[in-house]
Chains A and B, each alone.
Chain A
Amino acid sequence: MHELVLFASVPSHQHHELLQQLAGLTAMQPRHRLERRLIFKAYRRPGLINTRGGTGRDVQGADIVRLNKMLNGGMFYTQVIGPISEADFHNTKPSSSADPDHPMSHDEAAGNSYDYDSQPWKLEFRDIPEAGTRSTITARLTASATLPRGDIVTPMDAWGYSFVTEYVVEGDVFIHNDIVIFLHRVLQYPSHGQEPHEPRRQLPSFRDMSPLERTGGYILQAAITVQDGSNQELMRTASQHLFGLREQLKSVVRLEHADRLSLDTRAK
């Protein structure tokens, strides 16, 4: 799959207005979305090649060189994404006013319904954006797969990936024809000195989450996913649709392609 993306930086004071404008443009209400995002980084593992079972086809000569390069040379950062809801965050305030009869009204347990072991995960792989060809748009190869629920570090480690860090993405999604518009920002966990080396099993209070961009600015991301990236016709149509949206939103935000190196997923 290929993904064509344009980004824009949205200052916080424009956020509310833009939400309304997008709602009007797309004729839909925003879908609120909260995601845990875990970043994993590949580390070299001996015998990686050997794990690849025979496909029944004989590869030889130049093919082997290429295969070696692909499997050994390509070490990438990859994301594991898990949908969460605001209710999953630890609620520091007793919910007594809302529900006096609630059996667990103690501070320790109140409202803490997050269950790490049943957290669904999805693996999202993104290649470094293509260079050159479409310099006005960010185009990259993507792939995603559903992962087992719960503890994700063990299976990821088995695949040769180590946990780097995690954050939460909060935002709203709109669909405009074939364009997915995601107005979002990054929330960081409150830091207590040492950064943990594995995903948190408990989520802190939502209030304690602090935006990475301290002024509260958002990122507007407009993306089209193309199933067959080798189909030039489709890719061209998709870029034209994105450029159309860029024109429509021109007076509000400036949608641009992102700096290629800032989306560099290669692990060095």
Chain B
Amino acid sequence: MIEVEDVVYDYPTKRALRGVRFKAERGQVLALVGPNGAGKTTLLRCLAALDRPFSGAVRIDGIDTQDDPRRVHEKVGYLPDFYGLYDELTVEQNLLYAANARRVTGAKAREAMKRTVERIGLADRVKSRASELSRGLRQRLAIGQTIVHEPAALLLDEPAAGLDPEARRSLSALITSLAKGGMAIIVSSHILAELEDYSTAMLVMRDGALIGDGPVSAGGAVRVRITLARTDQRFPASIAAQAGVKVENADASGGLITLDGGAEGNATLLRALVLDNFHVATFAEERVSLEAAYMAAQSSGVMASGVQAGGRA
């Protein structure tokens, strides 16, 4: 869906992106994190085909942003960190214009507007001018403008800035539902705890480059901690022999492993252990908080393999 290949972007006195490469599929929510000046906003602008990289390629739904930026614009929704609204227009007019400007016209535009105000919780404010809305509601309207045309890829730069906790929760629910609807979503934010609610993987940037090999997908390896009710000396050798298992540490009382195959893989391994007469007391996925993973990546320079980027598996 979103393909980024060795993208380099230069400012007159600084290289802002250094060979960035990753992919994001439909339904994925990538958390884009990194310190100020890491290149997150520049990357998002390149993905939105607003800025042209010096070299490399960005493809959205198979369309190269440099070959046909106008078609890319139709497929992308982008909310910049500093956005503007037409203050003198009503919520309805803002959304209708956004739909019309993305080739959604007539009755379809009105349907899109109604669907969007329901999604963003502004159904009771459609006749209010944008200037009459609170900061949180303005933020919702801005997000509404970016999704009213049902883009294939959604790029959000600090979407939760200025939102109260309740609004953040509804934003999380909205992003989750949009991802389930098939959008590929990239969210840049400094609020890691909030990203944990909905992101399926994480991209960590530093000095214009991605740390590690790109995002860790939700369907990939997970860490599982196993503890035994009775110690068993056979356990280290037995667990190491299981298919799809990578042992991080193991002894007679249990161990920490990385396991491929998702829920089905978990069930298969657990059944094998029980049939092998191991007295399994706990068999639990171990979640690493996004913040912990981020800090580890920042300090080591390389993202730990197998780190699940958030709470959703």
Are the chains A and B members of one assembly? no
